Structure 1
Amino acid sequence: MRKLLPISVLLFFAVSCSTFKAVPSGTTEFRGIWIASVANIDWPKNGNDGLAKKKKDYLELLSFYKALNFNAAIVQIRTAGDALYPTKLAPWSRYLTGTEGNPPKDTTDILPWLIEQTHAHGMEFHAWLNPYRATMSLDTSTLAPTHDFYRHRNWMVPYGTKFYYNPGLPEVQEHLVSIMEEVVSRYQVDAIHFDDYFYPYTIKDEIFNDSLAYKAHALPNQSLAEWRRSNVDSLLKKVNVRIKNSKPWVHFGISPFGVWKNKTTDTKGSLTEAGQTTYENLFADPLLWDKEGYIDYLIPQLYWSLDNKPASYNILTDWWASNIENINLYIGNGPYKIYNNADKAWDNPLELPKQLNKTRATKRIDGNAFFSAKSLTANKETIVKTLKKKVYKHKALTPALSKLYEVTLPLKIAIKEVKKKDDGYIVEYVSDTDLKQVIYLKKPELTSKNIIGKQYLNPSDSFYVPRNIVKGKKKCYVVFRTKYGQPSQLIPINLTSTHEK
């Protein structure tokens, strides 16, 4: 139940929000939202819902965040050894179909539709897969016969209340890599995304029993901790290679737990007092991934308030910005805590906007992502209004891939023909480069304020300009983006010399 605040406090916050000043955004800024399917957190709301209801609910989420000028949806399509798409590598997810292993009753594959609609709303589709979590409980009676628990029992390690894939087995690594490779090759995803679940969070007096795999596969004199980290590193390296071999423009991103190490255990660590760390407990080393280029972007989960004593958003934002040097860096925020946390800072409607201001004011950071999608859709009107009117007032482009993947600029693009329709124009073009998007501009300059629309390009050599975009003008201006995210030079389109279609 939402906690009710005193009227005097609400009035104070309303005045504060009205006077809040947002740090201006740049032309590019990652604005992502996690859409969690596990336990039906965000979508689908119920696996037994009909297809029409599922589509309606998904479109409502997209429309909500499109109105806030978000540009990326991180959609969970694998939760625990399952899949929200047809594959021989995993059973159908119960969170999509109601019963694990049973196919949907009214569609063969909803994933292409999800991607298509996400693109139609001007957002990238980041396919979020959980690699190591195999089950959500130790009760395996509801698992499908095709689940890896039954097909490969020796891959499973019980720990706490769940089963996990053993990261130290080469056959497990190859299986997980094949899953990611299949998604990239079959679907028009913009990215593959992993969250913070690598080796499980430490549970007191519990043992993750991978001793046999350690004995069989560890290098001489390699400690258990070093070996576990090397297993995670190896998986990421292999996934990255398979992605780039298939579609080099597809991003690979990870959202690790927000504390690498505390300074008390490593002078390079952050001035925090986290009870667990991504390096020592989850055996994940994002600093190495950045150095070696195993991934394209990082979204540390900083789900704490600005001045939280054990782990401060202010301190950790600065720490990550100082320690990630090569890949794109965004920050993960936790609006699910608003009005619903023991930390009273989350009762302030300006906590989240101030966090976004901190991000924008910190060099090296290129945006944010929110967990999770439903967090702002109810009882957060004051905060949503501040985001819409001030923080995300203008549209922005997602950041491009690193310079390793850049193509030579300027691009060779030419407008062939413009065909007039009752409701707009069909523009045919030729290009020497594969293109991802066309950006409509209000004025002949690529700035956040001038972006009035975005359209994802199909493999065809034309795109559509709605009449409301040009509003009777004789000329409009667009910028194309390569599949790697680079913007082209400004392209003017003459709307007076057109043919009727």
Structure 2
Amino acid sequence: MHRILYIIPLLFLFSCAVSKAPKKEFRGVWIATVANIDWPKHPEDNVAKKKKDFIDILDFYQKMNFNAAIVQVRTAGDALYPTDLAPWSRYLTGTEGKAPSGFDEPLQWMINETHKRGMEFHAWLNPYRATVSLDTSLLSQNHDYYQHPDWIIQYGKKNYYNPGLPAVREKFNKIIEELVTNYEIDAIHFDDYFYPYKVVGETFDDAETFSKYGLPDQSIEDWRRSNVDSLVKNVHETIKKHKPWVQFGISPFGVWKNKSTDPMGSATKAGQTTYEDLYADPVLWVQKGWLDYLAPQVYWSMDYPVASHKIITSWWADHTPNTNLYVGNGTYKIKNNADKAWEKKNEIPKQLNYARDLKNIDGNIFFSAKSLIGQHEKVNKKLQKKYYALPAENPRPLNKVVRVVQLPAINSVQVNNQKLDICIAHSDTIPRFLHLYQVKKGASQLIGKQYLSESLMERCFEFNLTQKQLRSDLKINIVDAFGNESAMQPIEKIKLR
């Protein structure tokens, strides 16, 4: 009994601690389209079903108070939007190069639906993966495999763009430029596919390119890293040239280097590493200021012997302090992995606790969207009640442009049942969010957020609130795309009728 009485207060303290979420926290989810992992469920589904399935994903994570969707718009030399730079993706239409009937602008539609739910839209691309298999009969004749065969290197069971060719980088920059200028996206996002993961007994055949473009006394390893560095630097410059407020984020493989090969590396025993095998150096990119955020994929359990989530997360927090740092969590492993730690419902909660306790970590991204939908109810309940009970502001870019954001004007306010309908007008040219705050004892708590489009200066929004929230003092403000905030604007009680 004494032991039980001792444990109860500890449990209470633990519950209070985990329920106190940071005011600003990135809560993202990867929506993978390659191989129809998350969406569309099947490329030949009709448009209505495709739209419903995407909305179901957004609604699930909106209810969980997530604030960003990272959606894969280019999987392997293809595109999920109309462009002359790549064929339509077969994961969207069933046949590569075939336009989706009755769904002319799927990317624009996905962006709109994401923004309607107060979430950022990050366009996720794979720069170097040209095909997902060696079956080239599935490719459109407009694919770069046919248009530029000299760009392609076969390795393992896939084809890759040759990162050492300037023409490859130039083409990819055009792709980024088109996306940034044509769509109201919030970020460009890359994952961990740079040079390919190594295949035993095979050689990535870029020796001829190295002999042509390599510098004197430069090793092929350093040359490969310099190629990826150039891509990252050029993409950063392209984004900021056109829309400085659009962010650039990369999600590298979790281990930079093992300590066995470099004292600066992590105390891990990863079979491959980002720096030595994928020829990617995220630490350098952060130092150079080429990224707005970094999201290493730390998909192992907390105490996994070879690559502990705890050790790796701490390593990134210590070595990349000059950027927003988000942890990539492998929710797809819950009850689906040989590591028994994933059988427990508290593995992900423990990882979230750990990240929140570290100074330089600003949020999390879950892979992938389908991993929690319709399953793992106990995990979901815990996440909703203890971690994501209320909305969170999206983190601000560290290198933001400071500017003045004017107060929004409140045109009308109505209450219908427990819904607050509010119409506002604003004068900002690059708005991002309308924030709704509940004021209690002088402190402001975010209770609702809506996305503000660059093209509409007057908007009406609906917030679902409790009676307690409606009776309290409420205020709004505007946050621009750089993270600058306007002053608070009170909602007068007389309008709440």
1:369 alignment partner in structure 2? 365
1:485 alignment partner in structure 2? 483
Q: Which amino acid letter does the alignment assign opposite residue 144 of structure 1? A: S
Q: How much has 1:326 moved relative to structure 2?
A: 1.0
- Return closer, same or farther for 1:87/1:464 CA change in 2, 3 Å cut-off: same
1:11 alignment partner in structure 2? none
Q: Give distance in 1, aligned partners of 2:408 and 2:444.
A: 24
1:300-339 deviation per Cα after TM superposition (whole angstroms, max 9, x unaligned): 0000000001100110111000000211101000011111
Q: How much has 1:427 moved relative to structure 2?
A: 3.4
1:408 lines up with 2:403 in the alignment: yes
Q: Give distance in 1, aligned partners of 2:72 and 2:161.
A: 18
Q: How much has 1:425 moved relative to structure 2?
A: 5.0
Q: How much has 1:207 moved relative to structure 2?
A: 0.4
Q: How much has 1:97 moved relative to structure 2?
A: 0.5
Contact 1:350 1:383 in 2 (8 A): yes
Count of residue correspondences: 482
Q: Give distance in 2, aligned partners of 1:447 and 1:266.
A: 47
1:398-427 deviation per Cα after TM superposition (whole angstroms, max 9, x unaligned): 10111x323135x33252743769786553
1:6 alignment partner in structure 2? none
- Return closer, same or farther for 1:58/1:465 CA change in 2, 3 Å cut-off: closer
TM-score (norm 2): 0.92
1:314 lines up with 2:302 in the alignment: no
Residues 460-469 or 53-62, more deviating: 460-469
1:196-235 deviation per Cα after TM superposition (whole angstroms, max 9, x unaligned): 0000001111100001111111111111000000000001
1:3 alignment partner in structure 2? none
Q: Give distance in 2, aligned partners of 1:82 and 1:17.
A: 51
Q: Give distance in 1, aligned partners of 2:229 and 2:428.
A: 36
Residues 195-204 or 489-498, more deviating: 489-498
- Return closer, same or farther for 1:184/1:447 CA change in 2, 3 Å cut-off: farther
2:348 alignment partner, SS class: helix
Contact 1:395 1:449 in 2 (8 A): no
1:87 lines up with 2:83 in the alignment: yes
Contact 1:252 1:296 in 2 (8 A): yes
Contact 1:314 1:358 in 2 (8 A): yes
Q: Give distance in 1, aligned partners of 2:472 and 2:212.
A: 71
1:345-403 deviation per Cα after TM superposition (whole angstroms, max 9, x unaligned): 1111101100000000011000000000011113301101110111111210110111x
Q: Which amino acid letter does the alignment assign opposite residue 112 of structure 1? A: Q
Task: Give 1:153-168 correspondences, 5 Å limit.
Answer: 153-168=149-164
Unaligned runs of 5+ in 1: 1-15
Q: Give distance in 1, aligned partners of 2:12 and 2:107.
A: 39
2:256 alignment partner, SS class: coil
Contact 1:298 1:327 in 2 (8 A): yes
Unaligned runs of 5+ in 2: 1-10
Contact 1:17 1:386 in 2 (8 A): no
Report the aligned-residue RMSD.
Answer: 2.4
Task: Give 1:139-288 correspondences, 5 Å limit.
Answer: 139-288=135-284
- Return closer, same or farther for 1:417/1:475 CA change in 2, 3 Å cut-off: farther
Contact 2:430 2:454 in 1 (8 A): no
- Return closer, same or farther for 1:375/1:96 CA change in 2, 3 Å cut-off: same
Contact 2:129 2:161 in 1 (8 A): yes
Contact 1:273 1:310 in 2 (8 A): yes
Q: Which amino acid letter does the alignment assign opposite residue 265 of structure 1? A: T
Q: Give distance in 1, aligned partners of 2:52 and 2:172.
A: 32
Contact 2:248 2:292 in 1 (8 A): yes
Contact 1:477 1:491 in 2 (8 A): yes
2:3 alignment partner in structure 1? none
1:437 lines up with 2:437 in the alignment: no
1:125 alignment partner, SS class: strand
Q: Which amino acid letter does the alignment assign opposite residue 90 of structure 1? A: A
Q: Which amino acid letter does the alignment assign opposite residue 405 of structure 1? A: K
2:196 alignment partner, SS class: coil
Alignment match of 2:412 (pick from 402, 409, 418): 418
Contact 1:415 1:428 in 2 (8 A): yes
Alignment match of 1:131 (pick from 110, 127, 132): 127
Q: Give distance in 2, aligned partners of 1:122 and 1:329.
A: 21
1:32 lines up with 2:45 in the alignment: no
Q: Which amino acid letter does the alignment assign opposite residue 436 of structure 2? A: Y
